[in-house]
Chain A
Amino acid sequence: MSKAKLATVWLDGCSGCHMSLLDMDERLLELSAQFDLVYSPLVDFKTFPPDVDVALVEGSVSSNEDEEKIRMIRRRSKTLVSLGDCAVTGNVPSMRNAFGVDAVMDRVYRENAAAQQQTPTQSLPQLLPRVRPVHEIVPVDVFVPGCPPSADTIYNVLRELLAGRVPDVASLTRFGA
C-alpha cells in the first residue's frame, strides 16, 4: 500500500497548533513511515495536491482568501480535520466579531499607527464580516479542540486516522486545553 498523503494548513491562527505538531518529536519519524507530507507551511510545496487523504487545518476562516482556500482544500481532501480551537470555535480571532471589521481596521491602521495612518485597500485579503469556525463554511470530519491540542493528542489522532479508525477525541482534549 502506498503511503497516505497528509497536508497541514494554516489559516487564521497563531501557528501554535503547528508548534504542537512538531512537539511530537521522534514520534514524527514513527508516523512518517505511514504518510508523505504533501503540503504544509513547514515544507516548500506551493500547491495543494488534488488527492490528499488527511488535511489538518489550523485557524479560523477570517478573510476571503481563507474562505477560498478552505473550499479548495475540502474538495481535494478525503478527511478534513479541524485542528485546534481557532478552527473548531473561532477562538481568539473571533473576538473581533463583537466589534465589526471597520472598528478593527481603524484600531490597527489608524489609531495605533505612528505614521502613514491609512487603511490598506490593495494586496491584502479582505476580512470577512465575521470570523467563523471551519465547519460553518465546509463540512468537517474530525474536530480536535485545544489551544493548542497537545502533541500527545495530535499523535493519537493521526495514528488513529492513518490506521483508518475514527479517533475518540473527547477523551484526549477539550476546548482551551
Chain B
Amino acid sequence: MSAAAEVKTLKIDGTDVSARADQTILDAARENKISIPTLCHLDGLSDVGACRLCLVEVKGMRRLLPSCVTRVEEGMEVTTQSDRLQKYRRMTLELLFAERNHICSICVSNGACELQSLAQSQGLTHVEFPYRYPRLPVDASHERFVMDHNRCIMCTRCVRVCSEIEGAHTWDVMGRGIDSRVISDLGQPWGSSDSCTSCGKCVQVCPTGALFEKSKVGSKTGKNPDFLPYLNMMRDGNQ
C-alpha cells in the first residue's frame, strides 16, 4: 500500500479533488461524481484507451488525453467538458457509426445499447461521414450466442474479459486498422472453438448488439457487466 497511499491533488472542471497516485483521471472524476463518457472502459477490466470518448483537456498540454489511461498528477488542471471535446466525442461516435452497419431499428440491442444511448446523450442526430456499408459476417455457429460483426466497434471488452476474468482467451483481434476483426481461437467459427467455456461473460460486457444471446432481443438484451469488480475483489482476497 505504500505507493498506492501516496495522494495527489488536482483540479477537475475547477473543483479540487484528491486521488491516489495510481488512479487515473477517469477514476478520480467518477469518485467525485464528474461524468466522462466512456465506451471501451469497464470497471473490473484493464484499460486500453481504444475508443477515445473519454478524452479530456489538461492545462499545458496541446493534445487531448484519454482519461482512462492517464494517471493523475500533482497540480494537474483537467477539463472534461468543452466545445472542443464535444466536437471530438461526436466525431468519434460518428466514425463508429459510419464504419460498420449499425442499423439501430433492427438491432437486437435496440434500446439497450451503449453506442446508441451515447449518441443521444452527446447530441448526435446524424452522421456527417459517408457510411462504408462493409459486407460482414454473422457467426451464429455457437449453440447459445451470436457474434454479429456488423455491430462490433472493436472496444475489445470481450477480448479482455475472456482473457483476464474467465482465463480462456478465446477472443482476440485479427488484422489492422479498418480491417480489424474480433476472432475466436485461430479465426474459426465460434461454435468450433476448443477454448470457449460458453460462460457468456463476453456477451454481458459487449456494449452493442455485436454479441448477444440467441432468442433474446430488444429490452431483454440488457447486459449485466456489474459482476466484474466483485469477481476481482473476491480473487484478490480483499473481501
Contact = CB atoms under 8 A, between A and B. Distances in A.
Interface of A: 82, 85, 88-92, 94-95, 97-99, 130, 133, 135-136, 140, 143-145, 147, 169-170, 174-176
B124 interface: yes
A174 B105 contact: no
Max chain B C-beta neighbours (<10 A), residue from A97, A130, A176: A176
A175 B133 contact: no
A87 to B, nearest CB: 9
A170 B134 contact: no
Given A169-B125, A170-B125, A175-B104, A89 B131 contact: yes
Contact of A170 (B104, B110, B111, B120): B120
A95 B136 CA distance: 11
B72 interface: no
A145 to B, nearest CB: 6
A145 B102 CA distance: 14
B133 A147 contact: no
Contacts of B97: 89, 175
B105 A176 contact: yes
A130 B133 contact: yes
Nearest to B135: A98
Given A89-B127, A174-B117, A174-B120, A98 B133 contact: yes
Interface of B: 97, 101-107, 110-111, 116-117, 119-120, 122-128, 130-131, 133-136
A130 B127 CA distance: 16
Given A170-B123, A176-B116, A85 B105 contact: yes
Contacts of B107: 176
Given A174-B116, A174-B119, A92 B105 contact: yes
Contact of A82 (B103, B126, B130): B126
A175 B116 CA distance: 7
Contact of A94 (B110, B123, B133, B134): B133
B103 A91 contact: yes
> Which of A89, A92, A130, A147: most chain B CB closer than 10 A?
A89
A145 B117 CA distance: 13
A92 B104 CA distance: 9
B97 to A, nearest CB: 8
Contacts of A99: 135
Contacts of B135: 98-99
B210 to A, nearest CB: 15
A93 B127 CA distance: 17
B216 to A, nearest CB: 17
A90 to B, nearest CB: 6
A145 B125 contact: yes
Contact of B126 (A95, A133, A176): A133
A98 B125 contact: no
B153 to A, nearest CB: 14
A130 B104 CA distance: 19
Given A94-B131, A99-B135, A175-B116, A147 B104 contact: yes
A88 B103 contact: no
B119 A175 contact: yes
A23 to B, nearest CB: 17
A135 B133 CA distance: 17
Contacts of A90: 131
Question: Considering the complex of A and B, which 9 residue pairs feature the smallest CB-CB distances, nearest first?
Answer: A176-B104, A147-B105, A97-B133, A174-B120, A98-B135, A143-B125, A143-B126, A175-B104, A170-B123
